[in-house]
Each structure stands twice: as C-alpha cells, then as structure tokens.
Chains A and B, each alone.
Chain A
Amino acid sequence: MLEEFADLEREYRAFADEHVAPHAALIDREECIPTEVVEALRNAGLFATGFPSRDQDPIAANLRHGLVHEALGFASASVQGLVNVHHMAGSAIARWGSPAQKEHWVPRLASGEVKAALAITEPNVGSDAAAVETRAVVDGDAWLLRGAKCWITYGQNADLFVLLAATEQGGTAFLVPRRSANLHIEPIRGVLGCRGYMLARLHLDGVRLSSEHLLGKPGFGLTHVMATGLESGRYNLAWGCVGLARACLDASLEYAHERRQFGAPLASFQLVQQMIARMMTEVHAARLVCWHAGVLRARRDPSAIKEATMAKYYASTVVNRVAHDTLQIHGANGCGSGSPIERYVRDARIMEIIEGSTQVLELAIARYGYQERG
C-alpha cells in the first residue's frame, strides 16, 4: 500500500532535497533554522498535514503526514523536530480546544502563520510529567502561572505554547502566547544533537491568562490534552527516525561502493555486507510499523496509541543502531565535522530521549501487553 504513495514520497523528498537538506549542516552549526526554510515549509503547506480536513481520506491523510516527517527527517532532524512540536501542540488544540479556540487557532496553525510548541518538561520533572511544579492558581477571573519549563523545542521562536501546569484539580493545559507579560524566554545552546531545535527555558514569573487560555478542562491536561500531543509526537517522530535512518543507509551504500581498502570496495567485504543487511531490514521493518500505526490512527482504533508508542520505540532504537553502523562503515571520514555522518549519530541519540525515553516506552508497551493478556 505504501507504493500507492510513491509519488507523494518523491514530491516530499524533492522538497526536502531542495529546501531543507542544503541548510542542514549550517542549521547544526549555527543552532538555528533560517527563516527561509520555515517559509518554504509554509509555502509547501507542510504545517497543514497535521490538521487533516474531514473530507480527506483518513488513511491517506495519516500516511501523507508520516511521509512529510520522513522526508524532513531524511534531510534534517532539526527541521523535522520543529514541524513535529508544531504538530504536537496543534493536534492537542484541534482535539481538545473549545469551538472558539479551534476556530481561532487551527487555521493559523495549519497555514504556519502561528508556530506552536509544547511545554511539559521542567528542571525537576522529566518522564514523570504528572509531577510538574509549575502552578496555575485562580486569580479573580483569570489564572496566574508561576514556574519554569526547560528543553522546549522551538521555544526560542514559537508564537504559542501548549503548556502543562498543576492546578488543584491536577494537570491542566494552557495556551500561553509568547508575548504574555512576565514570560521570559532563555535560549539553550550547545546540545549534543538536533542542534537546530532552538531549545529554550521558559520562566513564568506570574503570567496572567484569561479563562479563554485554558485548553480542555482542569485536571485533564496531562491525561487527555498532552496525551494527544504526545501520541502525535510519537507517530511523527517515528517517521522522522525512519527518514534519518534512510539517510544513514543511503550514505552507507554510497560510501561502501566508493571507498576501497585492501584493493577492493568496502561493499565487497562480508562484515560490511552484514551491517548493510541489518540496516536495510531494520529500516524497512521500522517503516512498516509506522505505516501500520498510521492506518490504525486513521481508523481511530484504540490500539493506535499502543502502535504509535511501539513505532517510536522501535524506530528510535533502529536509527541509533543504523547511525552507529553508518559511522563504522565511514570510519574516520565519518567523524570529521565536514561529514554529515557525525551529525546523524548525534541527532539519532536524541531520539531515544524525547517523546518518551526508551525505558519509559518499554514500560508502557509491557503494560499494553499485560492488558491484552487479560
């Protein structure tokens, strides 16, 4: 069935080759995504795929969306990350926003006029998101937020944050515009990989928000609003990992034929062939898991949540093995700063930490298994 989407795949790859890939090294070096890349994404309508319309065939919409993330992951993990967090935040708004919130935000998000990010993590809170310390209290007819968020992808530039805070009723999601008074944004630089994520710390020093900024209901911020964003993020990131893994595989195939040692191309050595065979099989398998997750999502099947979790878990571990072997095949030539390979390895490493670390996803997947066992 993926073959039916071959034209789209080519189209997105051509876009990424032309508008994203040429900037990938610079993005990594400067830790910043140029405006022209963001504008190109907008003009190509790539921010919109996270907001499928009702008249689109849901299976086609989900797979098209996946292929966008795959193509971006192939060209630049950083750019894929920007679009990913936008789609995560956007999916939470599209799913749980009030009619007025949806009417206001969704068209602006889909067009890319407004860029959104998702803010859960804090200095003391990572995997255990239920323990967030940022507090929101009722203050007259508004909410007052105090606390800090960190490691927020695209935090340096996003116009809108979907942000998790604790209230008396439990985890609660808020829409926090960047221009809110008493919101201070501090860039984070020098991260291992995905250096173009434009990470930031957010300091909420008494941010006052009217009730129109409440997303969903108090107490449902983590279990429903953020859970929707995270599910979307796992699906998107799984495809992004497949894209990055395919870039590694292509580079390995190329280099193995080009580089000669002991009078023969590396490709002729059986130990290199073993690495290539493992990469090919794992990349293909990861892609099929993503595809299957897309179909289940389109059918709104309850097991789609499990499938997206498995897709992210598997694809993020595959891309690490594949990037590792790619560097091995490239030897010293892959280690230099002029080579994309060392960037692939650093970017891949991030994938096992974000959107649920490998261990946290393993716990979740095992829990699904126990549930299914009955």
Chain B
Amino acid sequence: MAENIAVPIREFVTRSFSGQQLADEDDMFALGFATSLFAMQLVAFVEKQFGVEVDSDDLDIDNFRSVRAIAGLVERKLAA
C-alpha cells in the first residue's frame, strides 16, 4: 500500500468518523462506523482525490471496508 495513497484516505476516514483512529485493516462496516451517507461521500472523495471513476464493477464491499481495501482499489484503478 503506497503511503501517498494511504495518507489522504486515512485522513478522510478519521475526519468522517469524528477523529476516531482506525487501523488500516479495521473493517469500518463491521465496526458500524460506515453509514449510507458515508458510502457516497467515500465514492466522491476517492474520485476527486485520485482522479479515478468508481463504477458499477467496483461495487464490492471488499473494495471499501478498510483503509487498506480502499487504497487497493485506488491503486488498481490508477494502474488500469
């Protein structure tokens, strides 16, 4: 996981969850942090921050459940 990708994701997640510190592997959905509101904010953040487009093929909870998972999605999209 590249730090230049992970850092803004960590910041966004921490900001979204009222400063709650999560480990990169923590499952935000299982822990109950992620709301439906957060889900769309996260998509908008990923697209704006990294200049990628999230589409229907990317709709897999494994792409969104943790900081590491989101970074993985971004890396794959940037490489494509």
B44 close to A227 (CB less than 8 A): no
Q: In the complex the two chains form, is B37's CB within 8 Å of A217's CB?
A: no
Q: Mark A262-302, 1 if CB is under 8 A from B, else 0.
A: 00000000000000000000000000000000000001111
Asked if B44 and A220 sit within 8 Å, CB to CB, the answer is: no
A224 within 8 A of B: yes
Dominant secondary structure at the B interface: helix
B76 within 8 A of A: no
Cβ–Cβ contact A300 & B40, under 8 A: no
In contact, A219 and B61 (Cβ under 8 angstroms): yes
- Tell me how far the C-beta of A337 lies from the nearest C-beta in chain B, rounded to whole angstroms: 42
Chain B residues, CB < 8 A from A372: 15
* Interface: A216 (CB within 8 A): yes
Give the size category of B's interface with A.
Answer: 20 to 34
Is the CB–CB distance between A97 and B37 below 8 Å?
no
| B40 touching A231, Cβ below 8 Å | yes
Find the B residue at minimum CB distance from A227. Answer: B40
Docked-complex contact B44 and A300, CB < 8 angstroms: yes
* Contact B56–A96 (Cβ < 8 Å): yes
B19 within 8 A of A: yes
Given A302-B48, A305-B44, A374-B18, also A364-B37 (CB < 8 A): yes
* Cα-based distance from A373 to B17 in the complex (angstroms): 10
* Contacting residues, chain B, for A304 (C-beta < 8 A): 44
Question: Cα distance A227–B56 when bound, in Å?
Answer: 14
A367 at the interface (CB under 8 A from B): yes
Q: A96-B59, A97-B56 are in contact. Are A302 and B19 (CB under 8 A)?
A: no
Contacts of B16 in A (CB 8 A): 371
Contact residues, A186-236 vs B (CB, 8 A): 215-217, 219-220, 222-224, 227-228, 231
Confirm or deny: B78 has a beta carbon within 8 angstroms of a beta carbon on chain A: no
Q: Does A130 contact B (CB under 8 A)?
A: yes
Identify the interface centre among B17, B18, B43: most chain A CB within 10 Å of its CB: B43
If A302-B45, A302-B48, A373-B18 touch, whether A224 touches B59 (CB-CB below 8 Å) is yes
- B15 neighbours in A (Cβ, 8 Å): 371-372, 374
Bound Cα distance A222, B59 (Å): 12
**Is B60 positioned at the interface, with any CB of A under 8 Å from its CB?**
yes
Q: Mark B52-78, 1 if CB is under 8 A from A, else 0.
A: 000111011100000000000000000
Residues of B within 8 A of A (CB): 15-19, 35-37, 39-41, 43-45, 47-48, 55-57, 59-61
Task: List 26 interface pairs A-B (beta carbons < 8 Å), by A numbering.
Answer: A96-B59, A98-B57, A130-B36, A216-B59, A220-B59, A222-B36, A223-B39, A223-B40, A224-B40, A224-B59, A227-B36, A227-B40, A228-B40, A300-B44, A300-B47, A302-B41, A302-B48, A305-B37, A305-B41, A305-B44, A367-B35, A368-B37, A370-B18, A371-B16, A371-B17, A371-B18
A-B pairs with the 5 shortest C-beta distances?
Answer: A217-B59, A302-B44, A223-B39, A223-B36, A220-B59
List 8 other contacts, CB 8 Å, given A216-B59, A217-B60, A367-B35: A96-B55, A215-B56, A220-B59, A300-B44, A302-B48, A364-B37, A370-B18, A371-B16
